[in-house]
Structure 1
Amino acid sequence: MTGNERQQTTRRSPLLQAAHEEMIKFERQENEFRRKDREERASELHLPLNDIKIH
């Protein structure tokens, strides 16, 4: 790896790390939203959500 390539990789690394952390944060929020939505729909339909195994 040349010095220029190493410098570009070093500058890009924090950006990739930040993007990865934002993606993880988004996925957690999306999972929480889906869980709440599923619970609300089950409540409206009077479904026993605890008895249903969701994988």
Structure 2
Amino acid sequence: MTEDKHRETTRRNPMLEAAHEEMVKFERKENEFRKKDREERASELHLPLNDIKIH
């Protein structure tokens, strides 16, 4: 029974790691997209984005 659980865990870990890496990649792309979109909108509205602190 313990061996079965160990096998399941070792099989699942690479899948979880791969899923986590994909989520990190997605979040980075999403953050870059939002930053670019924010800059474009600020430029269209002629807002001084550099002077505004964005968290």
* Percent identity (aligned): 78
What corresponds to 1:47 in structure 2?
Answer: 47
Aligned length: 55
TM-score in terms of structure 1 length: 0.97
Larger deviation: 1-10 or 37-46? 1-10
What corresponds to 2:30 in structure 1?
Answer: 30
1:23 and 1:29 mapped to 2: Cα distance?
10
Gaps of 5+ in 1: none
1:36 and 1:44 mapped to 2: Cα distance?
12
Code of the aligned partner of 2:26: F
Gaps of 5+ in 2: none
4+ residue runs over 2 A deviation? none
